[in-house]
Structure 1
Amino acid sequence: MEKGIIEVLQTEMLDFTAPVLINNLPSIDGLLVSQRQVIWGMKKAGMTSDKQFYKMLKASGRIFDYYVLGDMPLCGVMKNMGNNYILHKYLMPKGSFGNKNFKKSKGSAPRYIECKLDAYSEYMLEGINKNAVTMKWNYDATEKEPILLPSKIPNILVNLRMSIAVAEANKMPSHNLEDVCTSLKSYIKTKDIDKSIELIKVPDLPSGGAIIYNKNDFEKIYKEGNGSFTIIGKYKYDKSTNTITIYEIPYTTYLENIEEELESKLDKFSKEIIDYHNGSDKDGLKFELYLKKGADVNAVIQKLRKFTSFESKFACNFTILDLDGKTPKCMSLEDIYVRWIKHRQTCIENELKFDKDRYEKKLHQLKGLEKILNGLDKAISIIQNSETEEDAKNNIIEIFSLDKEQAEYFLTIKLININKGFIGNKIKEISNLESFIKDIENTLSSEDNINNIIIEQLEEVKKKFSKPRLTDIIYNDKVEKISNDMLIEDFTCTLILSKEGYFKKTRRYSETQKLKEGDQIRTIIQCSNKDKAIFISNQGNAYLLNLWEVNEKQPSVIGDYLLNILPLERDETIIGMLSTNQYKGYCVYCFENGKILKTPLKSFETKTNRTKLSNSLTDENGLVLLITQIENDTDIELTDCFGKTKVINTKDINEKASRKSIGVTVFKSSKKDWKVVSAQVIKQ
C-alpha cells in the first residue's frame, strides 16, 4: 500500500523526533535526561557525598538501569558533570576528568578515575522521597525514575548547558548562584522583571574572563531568550620580564585555538612580539607572550582581541522544555522564573500533602489508642480469649468502635508497651499532630505562604553553595575601542597606477617599475600603508580601497588588474588615483575645455565603509587631462593644441564643495576646434 510523504513523515519521523527533543533539551530543573539519570542512579546506588569514592566504571554500571545509549557516551556525560565545564559540579571528581580550556583534554579512562555525588546534586534531590515530583518507569519497566528533580536550587540559570536536538538547540550561560537567588526573590516579591534583570547582572562563566556589559544586548537576551554578548580573556603584564601572560580565556574557545590564530597572524604582531610559549599545567592556564623592548602592551592586547579568539561572542538560546516535559519553547528570563516558581510550588505542595497524609494517618491511629486507654485490661482480655488473630482484631473493632486501621495499629504494639504510661505518652502527640496538620492546611490555603517557603529555601541555597564571581564585568565606557591605528602596520609605500589599469603597492621604491608591454605609468604616489586609495573612473565614480588590505608587490611585478579588485562597470576605466587618511588638502581636476575644479578631499570621506561613491565627477567639462591632489597651493601648466601655454596657481581657483561641480574657466580661446591637450603640476 502506497503512502504519501506527509503520512510517512507523521508516522515515522515524529516517533523519532519526540524522544530526541526530550533527551537533548533541558527541563526546568536545568538538567538533560542523561544528567538526571546519572544523579538518580548514583543516589539509588548509595554513592553519596558522605561515602567513599567509586570507580567511574562501577558507577556507570549502576546507571545503566536508566541509561541505554552506551558506556562511552555515559562516561562523557559523567566527566562533564565533574569538571570545569560547569560552575557547580554535580559529581565530586577524583582523577583527571578533562579540562574545558584545552581542546584535547578529554580526561583519563573511566577505569582510572573515581567519583561520587556532590552535595549540590543531593540538595537538588531533596523532597523526592516525599513524592515531590512525578516518577515514571525506566525503559524496561523494572525501575522508576523522576521526570524532573525537585531542585530547590534554580539550577536552570546557575549551571551552563549547550545541546542540540532535532531543529532545536539550547545554549544557556551560567550565572552566579547568589545573583540568581537574589533576582528570583525580588521577582517573587514584586513581579518586577526589570529589577530582576538588574539584580542577575550578567552571566558568570566557569572559565572566568570578563564580559563587556552592553545594556541593550542583555535586555534582548533576558527579554527575548536569545542574543549574544562579548567575552574577553584576562592577562597580566610583568614589566621586569616584559612579558604578557594570558591566564583566563573566553568559555567559547580553547587555548589551542588562540595559539593557532596567533601563529597564522604572526605578521600582524611583528612589531611587538619576539616569541610566545604555552606554559599551562595542572595549576592553570599560562600562555606567555615575550615582547620586544619598547613594545606597546595595549596595542598587543587590541590585536589579540581583533585577530584571535582572545575576544569572542557567546550566542544565547534559551530554548527549554516546558513544564509538560515535551514542548520546546524559547523562553525569556521572566518565562523561566514563572515556570521554575510554578515547579517549586507544585513540589512544596506535594511535600506538604505527603506530610499531611502521614500526620493524619498517625493522628487517626492515636485516636484509636485514646479510645482503648481506659480499657486496657479489657483489650488484653479480648486478645487472650480470641481464637485467632483475625478474631482478636474483629473483637477489638466491635468493642471499642475502632476501624480496621486503628485496630491493626494497636495490635502491632509490643505486649510490654501495652500500659498506661506508654500509651498515655503516645496520646500526648495528638495535640502536636493536630497543630501540624492545621499549619499545613494554612500554608496550602495561600500561594503567598508557599512563596515564602521558596524564599526561605533560596536563602538557604545561598548560604550553602554561594561562590565569588569568576567572570568580571567591564562596562562599555571602560572598554577601549579597537582602532585601525593599533592594528595596522605603518610603513611608507609607493602606489603605481598604469594607463591600462594595472595597480600595485610596493614597499621598496624603484625608478624602474615593470609594466605590461606598451603600457605607461599614469600616477605614482608615496603614502602610508594606513591610507586609503581613491580611484576616479571615466564614468564619474570614485572607488575607495584600504591600502592595508592590499598585498605588497615587488617592483619587478606588473601588479593587479583593477577590474579584478574593484567592482567596475562595463567599459569603465580608471583615469586617476589619490591617497589620503586624514582627508586633508584638495583634489584638482584639469579638463580639455580649459576649466579646473578644486574640491576638498573631505568630500570623499564617508561615515559608512562604502567602497563606491557615485557622482564623483561631472561630464560637462569634457575629457579629464589631469587628476592630482595637493595640500599646499601649487602652479599648474596648461598647454593648448596650438602650443600656447598658461600657468595658474591653485590659490586663484575658487574651491567647490561638491565633487560634481563645474570647474572654473582659467584658459580659453575663440579659435575653432581649440582645446587644451596637456596639464601638469610644476614642481617647485
Structure 2
Amino acid sequence: MNLEEIVGERFGRYSKYIIQDRALPDVRDGLKPVQRRILFAMNELGMGSTKAFKKSARIVGEVIGKYHPHGDSSVYEAMVRMSQDWKMRNRLIEMHGNNGSIDNDPAAAMRYTEARLTVFSEALLQDIDKKTVNFIPNFDDYELEPVVLPAKFPNLLVNGGTGMATGYATNIPPHNLNEVLEAIIYKIEHKDCSLADLMKFIKGPDFPTGGIVEGRDEIEKAFKTGKGKIVIRSKVEVNETELIVTEIPYEVNKAELVRKISEIALKKKIDGIVEVNDISDREGIRIEIKLKKDIASDVILAYLLKNTDLSKNYNYNMVAISQRSPRLLSLDEILNEYILHQKEVIRNRSNYELQRLEKRKHIVLGFLKMVSVLDEVIRIIRQSSGKKDAETNLIERFSFTSEQADAIVSLRLYRLSSTDVSEMENESVQLSKEIKKLIKILNNEHDLENVIISEIKELMDKYPSPRLSVIKDEIKKIEIDEQELIENENVMVVISRDGYIKRSSLKSYQATQGATGLKENDVVLKKGEVNTRSTLLLFTNLGNFIQLPVHKIMDAKWKDMGDYIGNFAALDNKEKVIDYIVVDEFDEERFVLVANQDGSIKRVLLSDFNKTRINKTFNVLASSTINPLVSIDLQEAYDTYVVMVSKNGYVVKYDIEEIPVQSLMAKGVKGINLRKDKLVGAKFATKINKDEILMLTNRGGLKREFTANIDVSHRPAKGKRYFKLIKSNPYEVVSIASENIFRLKSFITLHVIGKVKDLVIQGEEIKPDRYENGIPTLEKEDQPQMLRIDIDRYNESNDLLLSLAEQVEDEDDQNSEDVISELEKIISISKDSDPEDIEEDEDDDENIIQQKLF
C-alpha cells in the first residue's frame, strides 16, 4: 500500500477516536467519556451521596476493568479534578483525604483517598435505570455502558470544560447553576427568545474561585459565536500600607502567584513591596502584600495586575460533541441541544414507566377478576397437577393472560383478605390516572415541557447557588505611571572608565568614607548623587547613547564593583562609555550638545532621547574609533554660548543659535576649523563673568579661563590659541570642563594613566591664567587623561539665584548689568564667608541669599 494512504487512513481513525471518545465533552451531559464512566461505575457500586465512602483505588479498578481500558493515572486524575471545589463550580465527586490544593499540590495516591458521589452527580445519573439513554457494549463486549447520562442540569455550562483533541480544542468556563436553569425555563417558554433575553438570566461565567469578570461585550460575543475573550481579575482590598488578595482568577496556581510577586519584590523590579505573606486557610484565600508608606498602593496594584496572574485573560472556545461531531456552539445552540436531550430522556422514561404501569395494571385487573370467581379459582388450582398445569387451566377456564395466570398462581393467601382487595381496587384507579398522565406527556409537547420545567424548578429550590464572580461591563485598561512605582530617594551613582556601574544608598556611601570598589587599573569616570526616579543618558565613544533609569541600575554596596553596562545594553567591540547626563524629565525646552573629534557638532531636543525600549543603544552622532564622540553637555535655561576647545589649544566661542537643532539621525554641522587638529570638547556657557572653562594639558597643566574673556566668533572659526607655542614637547589639551555659579564649592579630579589614580584638587587653588600654559599639577611620568569637576554642593532649590540667572537673556537687556553684578556679589559672598558666621536677619537680602546658597 502507499504510505500516504496508510498514514492518512490510520491517523484519521485515531483523530476520530480522540475527538469523539477522549478529549471533548458531549453537549448533552457536559462529560468526557472517562468522566462519564467514572460516575456510572460509582453508581453501579451504589456509592450515592448518603452511602459510605469507598477507596479510590477500588473505583479506579472498577472503571479500568470494565469501561476504560487505559492507565489508572488518567482515571484517578479525572476523579480528583471532579472532586476539587476550586476547579468545579458544583463538585461531582466528594473525596476524603488529600485531593490536592489550589497551590497545585498533587493529590495523595489513590490507595489513601476515599470517594463517593455528590448530589449533583446523582442528578446527572437520575433515572438512568429507566432506559432513558442508550447503552452500548464496553471494550470487551461483556458489559454495557451509557452513551450519555440523563443529566438533570446542563453540566457543560455549569461546570464548563477544557480539552485538546486532534485539530480541536475546547475551553468553556463554569456558569451559575440557578442562572442557567432559569434561562432554560425561559427558553422553553419562549422558543424565539433573543440572546439579550437569555443574558438577563445568565450574566456571564461564574468561577468557583470568584474574582471579577470584565468584558460584557466579549461575553455576549462568546454566547453568540462560541468565541470571546474576557479578563478575570482578583478581588483585592486596597489599604495604604497593604494589599489583601481574597479571590484569584480561575485555574491560577496560588503558590506560583505568590512566588512571582515575591520575586518582583526581591529583584526590586518595582520599589514599594516590603514582603508577601500567604496566610490562606480553610476559610478562604488571603494573600497579604505589605507596602512602604510613601508608595501609592493603587499603582503597585496596577503593576501587579499587569505583570502577574492577579489578572488573567480567559478565552471562550465552546466546542463540544454534538450529533457525534465536534461543533463550535453558541449559548442558544447549547440550550437547544440540552432541551432536546431532556425531551428525549423524559419520553424514554415515560415510555418505560408506561410499560411498567400497564403491566402492573394488567396484573391488578387479573387479581380483581379472580376475586369475583375466587372459589372456583381455588378449586381449579387444587385440582391441578402443578404450577404450569394450574396456569393452563385458569387460562382455559377464565381467559386470563399468561402473566395474570402466573401472578394468580404465585399469589400468597394473605393477599386475599378484604383489605388487600380494597387496596388493589384503589391501586387500579391510581394506575389508570398515572397511565393517562404518561400518555398525555407522550402525546402532548406542552405537557412534556411542563415536566422538564417542574423538575428544573425542584432542582433550583433544592440546591440554591449564589453567584461568586462579579461581572463588570468594561475591560479596564491598566495604565501605570512608572514613576509612581519607584521609591523616591537619592542615591550615589558611579561609573568607571571600563564601564562598570552601580548605585549605592547614601548611607552606604557615607559609611564607607573611602574609594569605591574598582577593577585593577580602573578609575572612576563619573559619580554623583541622583534620584531613583531620574534617568541616565550614557554616551559612548562610537556616538551611541543608552537610556538607563536609575532604579534599574544594580543596587550594591559602595565598595562593590558593580555591574558591567554591557549586560544592560550590548556594546560593540572597543565601545566604551565616555560620559553621562542626568535627566529628571524629557522636556522639549532643553537640548543636548554633542560633538565628535572631527569637529561635527549639533544640538538635539532632550525629548528625542526618550525611548520606549531601553535595553539597546541608539545613535546620536556619526562617530567611530577613528573619529570618536568626545563631548556631551546638557543645556540649561541660562546657557547662551557654546565654547569649543581643540587639542592644540584653540578656543572658540559663539552664540548658541549658531548650532542648529537637529534630529538624532542628522550628521551635525562643522563647529570649528581644524587643521591637523582634533576637537577635545564643547560646552555650554553663560554670560556671567565668573563662569569658567578649565583645560587639562598633556603635561599635567590646568588652565582656568573665564568664559566672558573669550571672544565671540561665528561658526565655523578656528578660534584663538590659549597656549604658548613650544616646539619641543608642545602643550596639548586632553580634556576640558566647565564651571559656573551653580557649582559653587567644586573639586577638580584628574584621571591619571601613569599611576592609575585620581588626583583631587580644590578648584579655588587654581587661579585664572590667560597667558601661561597652565599650573603644573603632576609629575612628568604621569599621563593625564580626563578632567572632571565633582560637585560638593549643588543647591537646586535656590529659586532666588535661578530667577536672577534667567533674567540674563541677552546683552541688550536693560537690567543685565545689574543682574550680573548681583550674581557676582553673591558668588563673592559665598566664597569669602563661612556659613556658620552668617547672622540671621530677615531684612538682609544678602544674608538670605547666603543661607540659600549653602
CA contact 2:215–2:475 (8 Å) conserved in 1: no
Which deviates the most, 460-469 or 480-489? Answer: 480-489
The letter for the 2-side match of 1:31 is L
- Name the CA distance, whole Å, in 2 between partners of 1:339 and 1:548: 58
Q: Work out whether 1:466 is the aligned partner of 2:473.
A: no
The letter for the 1-side match of 2:460 is K
Other structure's SS at 2:83 match: coil
- Name the CA distance, whole Å, in 1 between partners of 2:564 and 2:37: 63
Equivalent runs, 1:482-501 vs 2, <5 Å: 482-492=480-490
CA contact 2:546–2:569 (8 Å) conserved in 1: no
- Name the CA distance, whole Å, in 2 between partners of 1:567 and 1:367: 102
Q: Structure 2 residue aligned with 1:587, among 591, 594, 599?
A: 591
> Residues 5 and 552 of structure 1: is their aligned pair in 2 closer, same or farther, counting only changes over 3 Å?
farther
Displacement, 1:122? 1.1
> Residues 673 and 169 of structure 1: is their aligned pair in 2 closer, same or farther, counting only changes over 3 Å?
same
1:635-670 deviations in Å (ceiling 9; x for gaps): 3334488946334256x98978x66789899x899x
Displacement, 1:140? 3.3
Counterpart position of 1:87: 89
- Name the CA distance, whole Å, in 2 between partners of 1:422 and 1:203: 53
Q: Structure 2 residue aligned with 1:637, among 639, 642, 665?
A: 642
Q: Structure 2 residue aligned with 1:681, among 677, 681, 684?
A: 684
Other structure's SS at 2:458 match: helix
> Residues 89 and 379 of structure 1: is their aligned pair in 2 closer, same or farther, counting only changes over 3 Å?
same
> Residues 203 and 640 of structure 1: is their aligned pair in 2 closer, same or farther, counting only changes over 3 Å?
same
- Name the CA distance, whole Å, in 1 between partners of 2:275 and 2:620: 47
> Residues 625 and 586 of structure 1: is their aligned pair in 2 closer, same or farther, counting only changes over 3 Å?
farther
For structure 1, which runs of at least 5 residues remain unmatched after alignment? Answer: none
CA contact 2:36–2:149 (8 Å) conserved in 1: yes
The letter for the 2-side match of 1:207 is T
The letter for the 2-side match of 1:333 is L
- Name the CA distance, whole Å, in 2 between partners of 1:365 and 1:153: 36
Other structure's SS at 2:642 match: strand
The letter for the 2-side match of 1:583 is F
Other structure's SS at 2:219 match: helix
- Name the CA distance, whole Å, in 2 between partners of 1:661 and 1:16: 60
Displacement, 1:275? 4.7
CA contact 2:244–2:288 (8 Å) conserved in 1: yes
Other structure's SS at 2:320 match: strand
1:314-370 deviations in Å (ceiling 9; x for gaps): 45543433342xx34444434433332332232223223334444555677788899
Displacement, 1:213? 0.6
1:401-436 deviations in Å (ceiling 9; x for gaps): 887667767777778759997886666568635632
Displacement, 1:7? 0.3
Displacement, 1:392? 7.3
Displacement, 1:128? 1.5
Displacement, 1:125? 1.4
- Name the CA distance, whole Å, in 1 between partners of 2:41 and 2:80: 15
Counterpart position of 1:78: 79
Other structure's SS at 1:680 match: strand
The letter for the 1-side match of 2:467 is R
Displacement, 1:134? 1.0
1:491-510 deviations in Å (ceiling 9; x for gaps): 5567789999x584644799
1:515-553 deviations in Å (ceiling 9; x for gaps): 9989996x9887544455567899999875555555468
Counterpart position of 2:338: 340
CA contact 2:645–2:651 (8 Å) conserved in 1: yes
- Name the CA distance, whole Å, in 2 between partners of 1:589 and 1:359: 101
CA contact 1:376–1:418 (8 Å) conserved in 2: no
Displacement, 1:634? 0.9
Q: Structure 1 residue aligned with 2:203, among 190, 201, 204?
A: 201
Counterpart position of 2:219: 218
CA RMSD of superposed structures (Å): 5.4
Other structure's SS at 1:41 match: helix
> Residues 270 and 422 of structure 1: is their aligned pair in 2 closer, same or farther, counting only changes over 3 Å?
closer
1:608-653 deviations in Å (ceiling 9; x for gaps): 769889997799xx99875543352413334488946334256x98
Other structure's SS at 1:645 match: strand
> Residues 349 and 544 of structure 1: is their aligned pair in 2 closer, same or farther, counting only changes over 3 Å?
farther
> Residues 247 and 662 of structure 1: is their aligned pair in 2 closer, same or farther, counting only changes over 3 Å?
closer
Equivalent runs, 1:313-328 vs 2, <5 Å: 313-314=313-314, 316-324=316-324, 327-328=325-326
Equivalent runs, 1:544-623 vs 2, <5 Å: 548-549=551-552, 551=554, 560=564, 565=569, 580=583, 582-584=585-587, 585-589=589-593, 600-603=605-608
The letter for the 2-side match of 1:681 is F
Counterpart position of 2:786: none
Q: Work out whether 1:96 is the aligned partner of 2:100.
A: no
CA contact 1:22–1:321 (8 Å) conserved in 2: no
1:39-63 deviations in Å (ceiling 9; x for gaps): 2222222222233444445555555
Counterpart position of 2:32: 32
> Residues 185 and 256 of structure 1: is their aligned pair in 2 closer, same or farther, counting only changes over 3 Å?
same
- Name the CA distance, whole Å, in 1 between partners of 2:83 and 2:494: 62
CA contact 1:79–1:97 (8 Å) conserved in 2: no
- Name the CA distance, whole Å, in 1 between partners of 2:258 and 2:229: 24
Other structure's SS at 1:632 match: coil
The letter for the 1-side match of 2:655 is I
The letter for the 1-side match of 2:352 is F
- Name the CA distance, whole Å, in 2 between partners of 1:517 and 1:217: 63
Counterpart position of 1:115: 115
Displacement, 1:270? 8.8
> Residues 408 and 177 of structure 1: is their aligned pair in 2 closer, same or farther, counting only changes over 3 Å?
same
TM-score, L = length of structure 1:
0.75
1:213-232 deviations in Å (ceiling 9; x for gaps): 12354345444545554444
- Name the CA distance, whole Å, in 1 between partners of 2:10 and 2:118: 42
Which deviates the most, 124-133 or 251-260? Answer: 251-260
Which deviates the most, 260-269 or 124-133? Answer: 260-269
The letter for the 2-side match of 1:81 is M
Counterpart position of 1:257: 256
> Residues 187 and 583 of structure 1: is their aligned pair in 2 closer, same or farther, counting only changes over 3 Å?
farther
- Name the CA distance, whole Å, in 2 between partners of 1:212 and 1:481: 18
> Residues 432 and 454 of structure 1: is their aligned pair in 2 closer, same or farther, counting only changes over 3 Å?
closer
Structure 1 vs Structure 2: percent identity of aligned residues? 25
CA contact 2:137–2:145 (8 Å) conserved in 1: yes
> Residues 576 and 229 of structure 1: is their aligned pair in 2 closer, same or farther, counting only changes over 3 Å?
farther
> Residues 630 and 40 of structure 1: is their aligned pair in 2 closer, same or farther, counting only changes over 3 Å?
same
The letter for the 1-side match of 2:154 is P
Counterpart position of 1:126: 126
1:586-605 deviations in Å (ceiling 9; x for gaps): 22446799998656444555
Displacement, 1:559? 6.6
Displacement, 1:65? 3.6
CA contact 2:214–2:475 (8 Å) conserved in 1: no
> Residues 596 and 459 of structure 1: is their aligned pair in 2 closer, same or farther, counting only changes over 3 Å?
farther
CA contact 2:394–2:405 (8 Å) conserved in 1: yes
- Name the CA distance, whole Å, in 1 between partners of 2:490 and 2:118: 63
Which deviates the most, 38-47 or 468-477? Answer: 468-477
- Name the CA distance, whole Å, in 1 between partners of 2:308 and 2:271: 17
For structure 2, which runs of at least 5 residues remain unmatched after alignment? Answer: 686-738, 741-854
- Name the CA distance, whole Å, in 2 between partners of 1:491 and 1:243: 21
Equivalent runs, 1:163-312 vs 2, <5 Å: 163-165=163-165, 168-188=168-188, 189=190, 190-197=192-199, 199-208=201-210, 210-219=211-220, 221-226=222-227, 228-234=229-235, 246-265=245-264, 266-268=266-268, 272=272, 274-289=274-289, 297-298=297-298, 301-302=301-302, 304-305=304-305, 308-312=308-312
- Name the CA distance, whole Å, in 1 between partners of 2:58 and 2:678: 98
The letter for the 1-side match of 2:118 is D
Counterpart position of 1:648: 655
> Residues 506 and 274 of structure 1: is their aligned pair in 2 closer, same or farther, counting only changes over 3 Å?
closer
CA contact 2:533–2:584 (8 Å) conserved in 1: yes
Displacement, 1:374? 8.8
